[in-house]
A and B are shown apart, each in its own frame.
Chain A
Amino acid sequence: MTTTSEVKRLYVKGKKRKVLVILSALIVLLITIVISISLGSGSPRFMEAARVILSKIFPFLEINPGDTNTQNIILQFRLPRIVLAIIAGAGLAVSGASMQGVLRNPLVSPFILGISAAAGFGAALVIVLGIGVFGPYTGYIKVASAFIFSMLAMLMVYSIARLRGITSETVILAGVAVGYLFSAMLSIIQSIASQYAATEIVFWLLGSLTKVTWEAVLIILPLVLVAITLMIRHSWDMNVMGLGEETATSLGVNSRRVLIVCITLGTLATASIISFTGIIGFIGLVSPHIARMIIGSDHRFLLPFSIVLGAILLLCSDTLARLVLMHSELPVGIVTSLIGVPFFIYLLLSRRRLFWH
């Protein structure tokens, strides 16, 4: 007969194991960072990179950082990209996990409110109108436009969902509708765009970290950090919401409020990221899935693990995108999409096995 202390001990052991998994993932992330900073089409490798970074952090050690070009390659190109890949991967993954949790649907991605199409439309609008018009500010205006239209899409989804009451079903349906609307508008813009603009729009939609600057990192970082922190605080609520709306209410959770708060936070984080990078798909969908398979559905562990996993996935994808072609770059969105294919095939096959159990 199992005693109460034995039951408790088993539970605690399970939790400790999960913490260990997260810590291991962090170590993997660290290794990935080291590998990433040592590779690139420029010549600096690990030693050169180490010298540059250490000389910046510990100037009193008087380490020789190498010539200007080497420093620039590490500090202006590789480092901001790695930092942003981590933040973006983390942000997309945790947004995906949160939205899957509150919408009770593991197939939901952070773009569920149609914000990928809306952001694409916003950027395309500026690209088409702005050739010559906005001059050096085109970049900023493009980012702002993508973000504004993402938020607009979110508001539209809430307004439509409210007609029948905001629940997971109405939000998902409204999100699909709004997504189609902006998709159509985006297509219209693409059809009238000049050759140059059309190409630029296509590249934007593919998602890329090539043009990342420290400026962008400084804007995205606080937004995503705040959103992540607040979403993690709702971990328990997400656990309870997975039991169904009635049970959640009986356990004291205001489903509607938690739903709106978490979706808004996730959308904010995602919109902040994709307004700069373009549409990077699959990370927000795949990371939570893999995380759940390894660490379970307790959101207190799922969210932090998704964060680390998402960072690893996007960092690897971006490093691949930088290295696959020798001197040029693949848009990172292509690499992440390619990851998705074998993943979903695996999912298809493994689900069958579980079912037969």
Chain B
Amino acid sequence: MKKRTVVLSVAIIVLVIAALAYATLVYVPSETAPEKETITVVDVLGVAVEVEVPVERIISLASDLSEIICALGSEDKIVGRDATSIFPPSILEKPVVGESSYNPNLEVLLELNPDLVVSDSMLTSETRQMIEGAGVPVFISTTGELDPRSTVTAINLTGQLVTKFGLILGEEEKANEIVDYMESYEDLVNERIKNLTPSEKPLVYYEWYTPWYSCVTASVTHSGGINIAANETVSFPTLSPEYVVEKNPDVIIRMISSSDHDVADFQTMREEILNRPGLSGVKAVKEGRVYIYDYAVRTGIRIPAGLLYWAKWFHPSLFEDIDPAAIHKELIQRFFGIELEGVFAYP
């Protein structure tokens, strides 16, 4: 009996030591390569990330960041992506490193030998530490609703991000071009709405991906509307249906994520809202001002399209000459070199 316990204890100790050894060997930081310029960029979490430029091998774990990198003409530098990065279509050839930024497969990721990993904030701090521990810098940012209470415009934030990526990828010129493009449309909208009084601005109920789920975002204001959820304590409140009806919004916008961009998806969603019990007396429903958009037009460098869609929906008379769909097409053609297909907003 005693002998068996001794053998078992020894076996366990040996196994533990072996496991520890394996772990340290795998995660020992690799040797740094000699002779490259190092810059420091501050990411959205305030971390000063040191990157050796120009970067040659990037892994992107967020779809909007992948798009920005491609728009800057550096698609060939992407060596790995997450499963949500599917645009432009040519990126689908790149190896997938994880379903999303939340849980990437670190072995596969490190095997691809990246110089930089970019991700949105879903990447946990533990995972970040593990990647940085292996000698790979991590840059975290997003163009989405990171802080819905921030009054800095989405275009402004994205612009800053594009500029930083321009530095990282050695594509400063292209970056400036993109930023100028985006800001020109932002200026256009601002110009037309800057003199509006509050009574001229529509009350907007902004619904996210499930009924009554809203967001306090100031983006509504940037397109000239008033968000009925703007003053809620929670950033993503589940609004009381009574409150929505009570407020009697003039416009309802609803986000969906349509994989094949089929107009039928948008129509079905719109029908559901128009027929939703209890909303029949609301102004937006009575006047048919219910609009559905695909969340893609509010991410990355496509935000100008989203901005314009919203502006036109809020103030049709002020933006009669603007065709957001055409501008969206032009944007995609200019910065991705491909033909845009499918519906992204309805009606």
Contact = CB atoms under 8 A, between A and B. Distances in A.
Direct A–B contact in the complex, CB atoms closer than 8 angstroms: yes
Given A41-B246, A132-B259, A213 B241 contact: no
A192 interface: yes
Given A67-B281, A72-B280, A135-B265, A329 B245 contact: no
Interface string B223-265: 0000001001110011111110110100000000111000001
A70 B102 CA distance: 44
Contacts of B268: 135-136
Contacts of A14: none
Interface string A125-162: 00000011001100000000000000000000000000
Chain B contact residues (Cβ within 8 angstroms of A): what range?
A: 35 or more
- Looking at A192, A200, A210, A331, which has the most chain B CB atoms within 10 Å of its CB? A210
Interface in B266-317: 268-269, 271-272, 277-282
27 contacts: A41-B240, A41-B243, A41-B246, A43-B246, A69-B281, A72-B281, A73-B241, A77-B242, A132-B257, A132-B258, A132-B259, A194-B99, A196-B209, A200-B209, A208-B238, A210-B240, A210-B241, A214-B277, A322-B240, A328-B229, A328-B233, A328-B239, A328-B243, A329-B212, A329-B238, A329-B239, A329-B240
Contact of A200 (B210, B243, B272, B279): B210
B338 interface: no
Contacts of A135: 265, 268
Given A76-B278, A214-B277, A328-B232, 9 more contacts: A73-B242, A77-B245, A131-B209, A195-B122, A203-B238, A210-B240, A211-B211, A213-B277, A322-B240
A68 B246 CA distance: 11
A16 interface: no
Contacts of A331: 238
A327 B257 contact: no
Interface in B77-127: 84, 99-100, 102-103, 122
Nearest to A71: B281
A329 B265 CA distance: 28
A337 B111 CA distance: 47
Contacts of B272: 136
A195 B102 CA distance: 9
- Looking at A67, A135, A191, A329, which has the most chain B CB atoms within 10 Å of its CB? A329
A213 B279 CA distance: 12
A296 interface: no
B246 A69 contact: yes
Q: Can you list the 10 inter-chain pairs with the closest CB atoms, starting with the nearest?
A: A68-B281, A42-B242, A76-B278, A328-B237, A327-B243, A69-B281, A42-B246, A41-B243, A41-B240, A72-B278
A67 B248 CA distance: 12
Contacts of B239: 327-329
A43 B279 CA distance: 16
A42 B245 contact: yes
- Looking at A41, A135, A136, A192, which has the most chain B CB atoms within 10 Å of its CB? A41
B1 to A, nearest CB: 33
A210 B281 contact: no
Given A136-B268, A325-B237, A327-B237, A73 B246 contact: yes
A135 B268 CA distance: 7
B271 A136 contact: yes
Contacts of B246: 41-43, 69, 73
B212 A210 contact: yes
Interface in A45-93: 67-69, 71-73, 76-78
A133 to B, nearest CB: 9
Contact of B240 (A40, A192, A196, A200): A40
Contacts of A191: 103
A43 B238 CA distance: 18
A230 B284 CA distance: 47
Contacts of B281: 67-69, 71-72
B233 A77 contact: no
Given A69-B282, A77-B278, A132-B265, A210 B238 contact: yes
A214 B232 CA distance: 28
Nearest to A197: B209
A76 B243 contact: no
Given A136-B271, A322-B240, A328-B239, A194 B280 contact: no
Nearest to A76: B278
A211 B103 contact: no
B257 to A, nearest CB: 7
A210 B241 CA distance: 8
Contacts of B233: 325, 328
Nearest to A127: B210
Nearest to B246: A42
Contacts of A69: 245-246, 248, 281-282
Interface in A276-310: none
A172 to B, nearest CB: 36
Nearest to B260: A132
